[in-house]
Homo-oligomer: A and B are copies of this chain.
Amino acid sequence: MQNKLKFTIDWQKWKARAWTIELNWKTVKTPVFMPVGTKATIKWLILDMLNDPKYLWDLPEINLILANTYHLYLRPWEKLIKDAWWLHKFENWDWLILTDSWGFQVFSLGLGKEWKKLFKLTNDWVKFRSIHDWSRHFFSPESCVDIQCDLWSDIMMMLDVCSPPWITDKKFKQHLRLTHHWAKKAYDHHQSKYDQVKWVLFPIVQWWTNLDLRKESAEFLSKLAPDGIAIGWVSVGESQEEIQKVVEFTTPLLPEDKPRYLMWVGNPEWIKYAIEQWIDMFDCVLPTRLWRHWVYYSDQWYTKIGNTKNKFDHSPLTNTCDCYACKNFSKAYIHHLFREKEMLGATLLSLHNISYLHRMISKIREDILKW
């Protein structure tokens, strides 16, 4: 095994594919769901639960997770993490890390009227405010690569502009061109300054449900994607049909021989659909956030643990999952934890939800290989 990103095509045919990706002496089997560890921790869990048969039972280990550049830059600061022998050591994760850059954070944090106040775009950088103390900061396409290298991200995302859907078409186009201009700068910086063997850089194809712009973006950014490419700026409120249309339209425009990463999608049905469109990588905060609504993934779509009938139900969350939560606890117990506001409830549901998606995707991979 080597540390340069390398793909082995295990199986690929209309309409799905299974790959082995090797990077920095680690292996990832695709399709893959990546749990989100925004601030150097996956909420309600301990990271190495994802590699422990006690918690995932017979499932393959999970060995690729996310972290977020924007958050870790603000706090605790990427130089502090570098001092700690990088993010892997800091958060005690021996496997691969992909870092999202900043776009969605600035967008989602500034959604609404605050949006314009929160950042200012120029041709070469974006100036923005910290959500913590309103202090001023800036990212350039180059500095965003530098920060991610300081974190020692294995797979980095380029800086992009995520503008909200209510701006004018003219502005949309301006932002798209700016994202492309930045992508070129990020690409050149990465090529000239860094060892591309260690750090891999993905551009992010834009733009919302506008197919003309999607086409322009896919065609331009495909040339700046030596190792992989992401489809971003989707799954932020559209209908299933809209997302499917975007995915179906965009994927044929992307390089066939590179991993494709569909950002922010955690709905099981949408993942299944996207895998059939040759998407390889997924991430979403949903599995560690559904507990807020007392909800978990099940074969009946979503199930509410809070339902009164679960109070006396001594059967497991699901009958098809072998995760730690399903194997060892009853609905009645987890219902009790939620009623009593005991944190273990969030832990068990989050563990189950990650396990559920991971199991579903691993099963799809097996099916693809058997085809």
Contact = CB atoms under 8 A, between A and B. Distances in A.
Nearest to A44: B343
A150 to B, nearest CB: 15
Given A52-B54, A76-B311, A340-B75, A333 B84 contact: yes
A39 interface: yes
Contacts of A54: 52
A346 B80 CA distance: 22
A91 B44 contact: no
A37 B344 CA distance: 12
A336 B43 contact: no
Interface string A42-65: 011110000010100000000000
A118 interface: no
A312 interface: yes
Nearest to A348: B46
A91 B344 CA distance: 11
Nearest to A92: B328
A346 B46 CA distance: 12
A322 to B, nearest CB: 15
B39 A340 contact: yes
A84 B330 contact: yes
A314 B84 contact: yes
A312 B75 contact: no
A76 B332 contact: yes
Interface string A325-336: 000111011011
Interface of A: 39-41, 43-46, 52, 54, 75-76, 80, 83-84, 90-92, 311-312, 314, 328-330, 332-333, 335-337, 339-340, 342-344, 346-347
Given A43-B342, A45-B344, 11 more contacts: A40-B333, A41-B337, A41-B342, A41-B344, A44-B343, A46-B347, A76-B336, A83-B312, A84-B314, A90-B330, A91-B333
